Amino acid sequence: MASPEDLTGEHGSLYAARKGVYPKKVDGPFRRFKWAIMAVTLAIYYGTPWIRWDRGPHAPDQAVLVDLANRRFYMFQIEIWPHEFYYVAGLLIMAGIGLFLVTSAVGRAWCGYACPQTVWTDLFQHVDRLIDGDRNAQIRLANGPWTAEKIAKRTLKYAIYLTVAFWTGGAWIMYFADAPTLTQDFWSGQAAPVAYVTVAVLTATTFVLGGFLREQVCIYMCPWPRIQTAMMDEKSLLVTYKDWRGEPRGSVKKAEKNPGAFGDCVDCNQCVAVCPTGIDIREGPQIGCITCALCIDACDSVMAQVGRPRGLIDYCTLDDAATEKAGGVAPPIRKTLFRPRTLIYFGLWGAIGLAMLFALGQRTRLDLAVQHERSPLYVQLSDGAIRNNYTLKLRNMELRPRDVEVTLSGLPGARLWTEDGARETAGQSLRLPLAPDSVTSAKLFVVAPGAGPARQDFTIAVRALDDDPRGDRETIQFDRPGTEP
């Protein structure tokens, strides 16, 4: 039992200063994999807005574009309208299930490799190494006095941080407007204020989160580790220190003197030195571990040096850990990856993906919406006929102008016209020119004989007058006197 006085010392402080993390350079298969992922993700992020895509004269030629002003989302050949937002919802669901899949199979792989916070932290840590040197030099410089050299190095380093951060913010806005034009406008001061504000905010957050807060984001700010922990089970792969093999630890010298008394860990602390979140994996699985596997690379190279088998720290499931501890042999990793849970997730994920692809292939680019005007529900005309008014909305989602025909059926003796026409020239159908990539809305008048049921369903259909005959139809009501409540 500690006395209250004990709590006022270093353990009693309510707020702890961040301990600097100076990860050491390391090489190995996982590090190289991380390099590859970093290169790919950064290239996608910075490069995507610059891919051009010719959509013809009526649409922007940027491959990926979120056109907020015109409410369109372009992704290569696909164009999404606001009312088709379910595709985006579908993508989000796929992303969610994808995370379940990945997490249940390989644990926090997202955290370790693909999370933007990880990628940019990694990038900034390379900048640190470039300017300040590797771990020891960094520690020396951090603890040393403010010499001219230190000031120069810090200035240079923060300048690079800021440049990276600025590029990061700058790339973001390119997704929302034509990239080359926006770049020009941005530098000539003619871009929209929101562009400058966005860049400023993203520059600031990248600078602070990637440059300084780093692992603090993963440990304190991000809710994701907590959620991921809940999604893992005893069959998920984790970076694990195999204590049954490593303990008790002792240096090579000690082990030589006392053969058989020590485990495989030579207590070299390399695994701690390379860890980007500054934790000691030998203390067991913990929330600070982002499963980047750099400690595996570090330990494997130590094991190679001292001539012991690799894998003292390795990807391992809790089940396998228990098996190995009990002296058994863990099944191959492939078995952990393909098990009912992951297969179900994968099946679900794939099914949604296929369904969306199918829907995308089937969707018509000519869409009709008819709304019955309710005030008045019907109009008594002087010759005794009854007119109903509708609002007609025609979406031409193709990037070319189209002529369409709107036809009425199922209402005997009825004729239709729009505000541009007149009852005298009305017929069973009418033709309308639609502008490319636009919604045309028109007042539709339908007149029918006064004799008939008070309420009658009929159909309004639209069809394009070009080579693509697919269109849309809607069944709607015609009201006559007697339908008032």
Using CB under 6 A as the criterion, which residues of the chain lie in contact with ligand SF4 when the complex forms?
239, 241, 246, 265-271, 274-277, 279, 281-282, 289-295, 298-299, 302, 312-313
Q: Which does 445 bind (CB under 5 to 8 A by kind): ligand SF4, another protein, none?
A: another protein
Q: Which does 255 bind (CB under 5 to 8 A by kind): another protein, ligand SF4, none?
A: none
Under the binding rule (CB under 8 A), the answer on residue 16 touching another protein is: yes
Q: For residue 261, what are the contacts with CB-CB under 8 A and spacing of at least 6? A: 248, 250, 255
Q: Which does 171 bind (CB under 5 to 8 A by kind): ligand SF4, another protein, none?
A: none
The CA distance from 296 to 32, in Å, is 12
Q: Which does 102 bind (CB under 5 to 8 A by kind): ligand SF4, another protein, none?
A: none
Element (H, E) at 368: strand 366-372
- For residue 433, the cross-strand partners are 403
Under the binding rule (CB under 8 A), the answer on residue 423 touching another protein is: yes
Based on the number of CB atoms within 10 Å of its own CB, is 148 exposed (0-12), middle (13-18) or buried (19 or more)?
Answer: exposed
For residue 313 the two structure tokens come to 């720290």
Q: How many CB atoms lie within 10 A of CB 342?
A: 20
Under the binding rule (CB under 8 A), the answer on residue 395 touching another protein is: no
Q: Which of 335, 334, 331 is nearest to 321 (CA)?
A: 331
Q: Which does 170 bind (CB under 5 to 8 A by kind): another protein, ligand SF4, none?
A: none
Closer to another protein at the Cβ: 11 or 253? 11
Among 189, 327, 482, 485, binds another protein (CB under 8 A): 482
The CA distance from 217 to 140, in Å, is 25
* Dihedral sign computed on CA atoms, order 241, 244, 245, 249: positive
The CA distance from 92 to 77, in Å, is 20
Side chain identity, residue 381 = L
Q: Which of 328, 337, 331 is nearest to 236 (CA)?
A: 337
Residue tagged 């790339």 (tokens): 171
Under the binding rule (CB under 8 A), the answer on residue 12 touching another protein is: yes
Sole window of 82-90, 108-116, 399-407, 416-424 interacting with another protein (rule: CB under 8 A): 416-424
The CA distance from 113 to 63, in Å, is 26
Sole window of 10-18, 25-33, 316-324, 331-339 interacting with another protein (rule: CB under 8 A): 10-18
| Residue 209 exposure: Cα atoms within 13 Å on the Cβ side | 20
Closer to ligand SF4 at the Cβ: 260 or 469? 260
Among 280, 330, 449, 477, binds another protein (CB under 8 A): 449
Q: Which does 432 bind (CB under 5 to 8 A by kind): another protein, ligand SF4, none?
A: none
Q: Which does 265 bind (CB under 5 to 8 A by kind): ligand SF4, another protein, none?
A: ligand SF4
Under the binding rule (CB under 8 A), the answer on residue 375 touching another protein is: yes
Among 452, 461, 465, 477, binds another protein (CB under 8 A): 452
C-alpha angle 222-32-130 in degrees, rounded to nearest 5: 80
Among 376, 412, 433, 453, binds another protein (CB under 8 A): 376
Closer to another protein at the Cβ: 284 or 328? 284
Which residues contribute to the site for another protein (CB under 8 A)?
Answer: 1-2, 4, 6-7, 11-18, 213, 216, 220, 373-376, 379-387, 389, 413, 419, 422-423, 443, 445, 449-452, 480-482
